[in-house]
Chains A and B, each alone.
Chain A
């Protein structure tokens, strides 16, 4: 795995979420995937995919740092989630994420964990702008 390949995996993940392609999303997440939501609750792969089905969103990534450790890798960087169904007023949540991807027994790399923390300074700046 190179940094470019890891970034491409993240692009696939974001595109799958943004287009609501749950099969493509399932393909980039490992079976033991754990996703830590902004309120601190942890959900499984199945629970996370169900959440994306009921709560559409479009993630946009900022600058990303890829660190490769053999058959595992850590990806960190900014993320903006634009949340809301078509026709609804979107909410934009600035955040920072750490993700871990691992080479699976079938040779494919998939994400095994994800944590998102809201960027408090960016939220406050956005609120001040109104």
Chain B
């Protein structure tokens, strides 16, 4: 299916805004762009709902950056896939940068796109062992 350039632009801007809200710790803005039934799957496999995700962002400040996005639009649902780097700090305050692949689902409700699902999986360097994984 092909996506309109308008949808791609809107979804790209939505993702830019989501990353800015996370990086600024702006939880009200972040909440407004997530659906009520939002699910967030962390790199550890732990699952949060919207309230849990907002609490996690508040408790552990981070700066999120995205690489190139592959955006596919299927009517009122879109899938966004691409690399994400989360910059933060470890328990001793040392800076950390964690690379992951992020799979997102956005849905159009009442004419506005909002994010319904985010799942991250850590990006590891390719190796024969890791390539045999599921």
B133 near A117 with CB under 8 A, answer no
Closest to B118 in A: A98
Specify which of A55, A59, A115 lies most central, judged by the most chain B CB atoms within 10 Å of its CB. Answer: A115
Whether the Cβ atoms of A81 and B134 lie closer than 8 Å is yes
Interface residues on A, range: 35 or more
Task: Determine whether the beta carbon of A93 is less than 8 Å from that of B75.
Answer: no
Question: Which of chain B's residues 4-47 have a Cβ closer than 8 Å to chain A?
Answer: 37, 39, 41-47
Q: A112 near B134 (CB under 8 angstroms)?
A: no
Instruction: Tell me if B77 is interfacial: C-beta within 8 Å of chain A.
Output: yes
- A93 and B119 contact, CB distance less than 8 A: no
Given contacts A100-B105, A121-B44, contact A38 B74 (CB under 8 A): no
How far, in angstroms, from A47 to B120 measured CA to CA in the complex? 21
| B96 → chain A closest CB, angstroms | 16
Q: How many residues of B contact A (CB 8 A)?
A: 39
In the complex the two chains form, what is the Cα distance from A55 to B43 in whole Å? 24
- The stretch of B53-61, B85-93, B121-129 in contact with A is B121-129
B107 touches A69 (CB 8 A): yes
Identify the interface centre among B70, B126, B132: most chain A CB within 10 Å of its CB: B132
By beta carbon, the residue of chain B nearest A124 is B44
A29 contacts partner chain B, Cβ-Cβ < 8 Å: no
> Given contacts A39-B123, A100-B105, A121-B45, are A71 and B74 in contact (CB under 8 A)?
yes
Q: Which of B77, B120, B124 is close to A100, meaning CB atoms less than 8 Å apart?
A: B77
Q: List 12 A-B contacts (CB under 8 A).
A: A32-B72, A38-B133, A39-B130, A39-B133, A59-B134, A72-B74, A74-B116, A113-B72, A116-B134, A117-B119, A117-B122, A121-B44
New contact pairs (7) apart from A40-B99, A81-B134, CB-CB < 8 Å: A57-B134, A69-B107, A71-B74, A74-B117, A112-B72, A117-B42, A117-B43
A interface residues, Cβ below 8 angstroms from B:
32, 34, 36-42, 55, 57, 59, 65, 67, 69-72, 74, 76, 79, 81, 83, 93-98, 100, 102, 112-113, 115-122
